[in-house]
C-alpha cells in the first residue's frame, strides 16, 4: 500500500474537525478519529513550541556573538599595537637628562603620540595594568619573570616591575611582567 503525502493541518482546522466529529458522529469510530486528531494537534503544538524555543535560543546566541565581536573583535589589532606603546615608552626613557632641553620639541611630539595612543586604547576598552612595588602577585594579571629573596618583603610581593600589562575589557591582552619576592615567612 503506497503512503499518501498529506499536508499537515493547522491547529484551527484540527479543532474544527474535532468539534464536527463530536457533533455528528457517535460510537467507537468517531471517538478513535477524534483521538487521532487530538494526538496530531498535540504533536503539532509540541513541534511549534520546540521551533519557537529554538528560534529564541538562536536569537540569544546571535546577540551574545554580536556583543563579543563588538568587545573583543579587535583584540589581535590591540595586541599588535602594544609593541608600539613599548617602543614609545623606551624612546622617552632613553633620552638623557642633559639632552632633554635641546630635544624638547621631539620629546613633546613623542609624548603627544604616546598620549594619543593611550586615548585610543581607552576609547576601545584597553586598560593598562600598572603594578606597584609591594603589591601582591596576581597570576591572573601578572607574569613572574623571576623570584628572589628580598629582606623586609613577604613571599608573593612584587619587588620589581619590568613591563606593563593590558586588559581588553575583562580579558587579559598581556600580563604585566614583574619580579616576585621568594622570602620565606619567618
pLDDT digits (tens, 9 = 90+) for 59-105: 999 999 888 887 777 788 889 999 999 999 999 989 888 888 888 89
pLDDT at 156 over 70: yes
Q: What is the pLDDT of residue 135?
A: 93
Q: pLDDT confidence of 20, banded at 50, 70, 90?
A: low
Percent of the chain with pLDDT over 90: 55
Q: What is the pLDDT of residue 22?
A: 57
Q: What is the mean pLDDT of the chain?
A: 86
| pLDDT for the residue 5 | 59
pLDDT of residue 143: 95
pLDDT at residue 27 tops 90: no
Instruction: Report how far residue 108's alpha carbon sits from residue 64's, in angstroms, rounded to the nearest whole number.
Output: 43
Note the pLDDT of residue 18: 65
Non-local (6+) Cβ contacts of 49 within 8 A are none
pLDDT in tens, 100-122: 888 889 899 999 999 999 999 99
Decide: residue 173, CB within 10 A, 0-12 exposed, 13-18 middle, 19+ buried: buried
Alpha carbon distances (Å) from 85 to 39, 74, 114, 164:
68, 16, 7, 10
DSSP-derived secondary structure letter, 4: P
The DSSP element (H or E) to which 6 belongs, if any, is none
**Comparison of pLDDT for 8 and 57, the residue scoring more:** 57
pLDDT of residue 6: 60
Q: Tell me, what's the pLDDT at 33?
A: 86
- Read off the pLDDT of residues 157-166 as tens digits, 9 standing for 90 and up: 999 999 999 9
The CA–CA distances, whole Å, from 76 to 72, 80, 86 equal 9, 6, 16
pLDDT category at 58 given cuts 50, 70, 90 is very high
Amino acid at each position: 500500500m503506497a503512503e499518501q503525502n498529506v499536508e499537515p493541518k493547522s491547529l484551527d482546522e484540527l479543532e474544527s474537525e474535532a468539534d464536527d466529529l463530536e457533533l455528528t458522529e457517535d460510537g467507537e469510530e468517531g471517538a478513535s478519529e477524534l483521538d487521532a486528531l487530538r494526538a496530531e494537534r498535540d504533536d503539532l503544538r509540541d513541534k511549534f513550541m520546540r521551533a519557537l524555543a529554538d528560534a529564541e535560543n538562536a536569537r540569544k546566541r546571535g546577540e551574545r556573538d554580536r556583543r563579543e565581536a563588538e568587545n573583543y573583535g579587535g583584540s589581535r589589532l590591540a595586541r599588535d599595537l602594544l609593541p608600539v606603546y613599548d617602543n614609545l615608552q623606551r624612546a622617552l626613557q632613553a633620552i638623557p637628562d642633559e639632552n632633554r632641553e635641546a630635544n624638547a620639541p621631539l620629546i613633546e611630539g613623542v609624548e603627544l603620540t604616546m598620549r594619543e595612543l593611550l586615548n585610543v586604547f581607552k576609547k576601545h576598552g584597553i586598560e593598562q595594568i600598572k603594578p606597584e612595588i609591594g603589591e601582591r602577585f596576581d597570576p591572573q594579571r601578572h607574569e613572574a619573570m623571576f623570584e628572589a629573596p628580598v629582606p623586609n618583603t613577604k613571599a608573593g610581593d612584587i619587588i620589581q616591575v619590568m613591563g606593563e600589562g593590558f586588559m581588553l575589557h575583562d580579558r587579559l591582552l598581556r600580563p604585566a611582567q614583574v619580579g616576585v619576592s621568594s622570602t620565606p615567612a619567618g
